[in-house]
Amino acid sequence: MNRKEYFEIPWAALRSMCDPSFAKRAVFSHSEYLPHGNVITSAAANITDTEVVTAKGDKVAYDFAVIATGHSETGAYTKDEKFSQYQTDHQKIKSASSILIIGGGQTGVELAAEIAVDYPDKKVTIVHRGSMLLEFIGESASNKVVHWLKSRKVEIILGQSVDVNSAKDGVYKTSGGQTIDAECHFICIGKPIGSGWLKETVLKGSLDIHGRLMVDSDLKVKGRSNVFGIGDITDIPELKLGYLAQRHAGITAKNIRLLMKNANDNNLNVYKPALPLSLIALGKKEAVAQFYCLSCIGRLPGMIKSGDLFVGRTRKQLGLLSELQ
Ligand SMILES: Cc1cc2nc3c(=O)[nH]c(=O)nc-3n(C[C@H](O)[C@H](O)[C@H](O)COP(=O)(O)OP(=O)(O)OC[C@H]3O[C@@H](n4cnc5c(N)ncnc54)[C@H](O)[C@@H]3O)c2cc1C
């Protein structure tokens, strides 16, 4: 069950905004990788001990349920809507000579880098509320990114926010009273955790104070014998990353198969939180990588992620061809 009729490799979105043709491989219908599955296109609105209720009111009975609603999103329910959203973003970027990016987390930084590399003549400004960009990585890695962006003429304003509704004639005011001229803006602040729909359900007691779904080491939701939690929605103490969500999925699939054969809980596979490795793309060739307190920036980490953004690899993992025919 998914609220959208398509799957999207989320971290390819920033490149698709600059180059909409990139989305052709990163956005595909659920039926392409699940030819024999039954996909219900609707938001899940409630879960009971035996069924999930969709936003349309349909009831779907389950023996096992896996909750993987990482982040909640709005808009673009169909593939065509998504492609046209990228065309609109692309036109916006292409026609503006100055662009304001609000938010200096991974989304804001990767978008600024894509624009700075593809359109070196455009003036890009990032306004970030925090005291450093990419707060989840260390200070040294963050400083390297600041240096990289500044060397490409990206202006960075830290410790301030912008109320876009108060913008007038292309002039934006920051909370610190600074003014920024920009012909368009992109809001790149984190999406809310996709657990809002669980708050009035039988799983409300399994959410922590941040709204994350608490899971045991076998990835069963705390206090539940047939409901699993995987991906960004969980409280697993590790960075929230897609390849880790895929690992959770693999373990969960194995555990469900074991439980279907009446295995004992003690025989279930156990997930160990991953080591803290971050990789942030800086355009098509470079990246910054951090492992514990070690970090490096440039073409070497870029060779791992930035060329294809793992799109071909993810497609292959889902049983699709890496390239379109
Ligand atoms: C800029 C950026 C770069 C990144 N780069 C990388 C990277 O290089 N490598 C990497 O591994 N990870 C990367 N990540 C992290 C990665 O995107 C996430 O960890 C991953 O998408 C988590 O997957 P998920 O399935 O848990 O959640 P999501 O990707 O958020 O998917 C949740 C799905 O559930 C749907 N949904 C939500 N609520 C409901 C509901 N009530 N009913 C039905 N459907 C619902 C949503 O529409 C969505 O399709 C990056 C993230 C960002 C922001």
Give the pLDDT confidence score for residue 283 in this predicted structure.
98
Average pLDDT, the chain: 96
Which residue's CA is minimally distant from atom 2 of ligand 1? 11
Which residue's CA is minimally distant from atom 22 of ligand 1? 242
pLDDT confidence bin for 216, thresholds 50/70/90: very high
Which residue's CA is minimally distant from atom 20 of ligand 1? 242
Rounded Cα distance between 199 and 47, Å, is 10
Q: Percent of the chain scored above 90 by pLDDT? A: 97
Distance 175 CA to ligand 1 centre (A): 30
> Parallel, antiparallel, or unpaired for β 98-102 and 123-128?
parallel
**Which tens digits make up the pLDDT trace of 109-164?**
999 999 999 999 999 999 999 999 999 998 999 999 999 999 999 999 999 999 99
Distance 108 CA to ligand 1 centre (A): 16
Distance 68 CA to ligand 1 centre (A): 9
**Which tens digits make up the pLDDT trace of 80-121?**
999 999 999 999 999 999 999 999 999 999 999 999 999 999
Count other C-beta atoms under 10 Å from residue 12's C-beta.
Answer: 20
Q: Which atom of ligand 1 is nearest to the CA of 7?
A: 49
Rounded Cα distance between 65 and 59, Å, is 13
Is residue 190 over pLDDT 90?
A: no
* Beta strands per DSSP E along 183-293: 184-187, 227-229, 277-282, 286-291
* Residue of 232, 252, 278, 309 best suited for mutating to test ligand 1, as the one with most atoms within 8 Å of CB: 232
Is residue 307 over pLDDT 90?
A: yes
Rounded Cα distance between 280 and 104, Å, is 12
- Show the ligand 1 pocket: residues with CB < 6 angstroms: 1-4, 10-11, 43-44, 68-73, 106-107, 110, 194, 197, 231-233, 240-243, 245, 279, 305, 310
Interface confidence, given as ipTM, is: 0.98
Which element (helix H / strand E) includes 7? strand 6-8
pLDDT confidence bin for 188, thresholds 50/70/90: very high
* Residue of 4, 11, 110, 215 best suited for mutating to test ligand 1, as the one with most atoms within 8 Å of CB: 11
pLDDT confidence bin for 75, thresholds 50/70/90: confident
Q: Which two tokens stand for residue 230?
A: 């995987």
Instruction: Name the 3-class secondary structure at 297.
Output: strand
Is residue 194 over pLDDT 90?
A: yes
pLDDT confidence bin for 204, thresholds 50/70/90: very high
Phi and psi (nearest 5°) for 108?
-65, -40
Which residues on adjacent β-strands are paired with residue 295? Answer: 290
Rounded Cα distance between 88 and 86, Å, is 5
Distance 6 CA to ligand 1 centre (A): 13
Reference 46, options 246, 254, 210, 201; nearest CA is: 201
**Which tens digits make up the pLDDT trace of 12-69?**
999 999 999 999 999 999 999 999 999 999 999 999 999 999 999 999 999 999 999 9
Which residue's CA is minimally distant from atom 27 of ligand 1? 70
Tell the residue number behind the tokens 């014998």, with chain if given. Answer: 225
Helices 106-118 and 139-151 sit at what angle, rounded to 10 degrees?
Answer: 30
- 56's CB contacts (< 8 A; 6+ apart) are 42
* Residue of 69, 73, 186 best suited for mutating to test ligand 1, as the one with most atoms within 8 Å of CB: 69
> Parallel, antiparallel, or unpaired for β 98-102 and 51-54?
unpaired
Amino acid at position 53, single letter? V
Count other C-beta atoms under 10 Å from residue 145's C-beta.
Answer: 25
Which residue's CA is minimally distant from atom 6 of ligand 1? 11
Q: Range with the lowest mean pLDDT among 53-62, 73-82, 254-263?
A: 73-82
Q: Which atom of ligand 1 is nearest to the CA of 13?
A: 1
Which residue's CA is minimally distant from atom 44 of ligand 1? 2
All domains in the chain, ordered by first residue? 6-77+192-273 (3.50.50.60)
Q: Which atom of ligand 1 is nearest to the CA of 309?
A: 8
- 133's CB contacts (< 8 A; 6+ apart) are 104, 105, 108, 109, 126, 142, 145, 146, 149, 156, 158
Instruction: Name the 3-class secondary structure at 102.
Output: strand
Is residue 73 over pLDDT 90?
A: no
pLDDT, average across residues 196-204: 97
CA angle 62, 251, 295 (to 5 degrees): 130
Q: Which two tokens stand for residue 244?
A: 């880790």
Instruction: Name the 3-class secondary structure at 278.
Output: strand
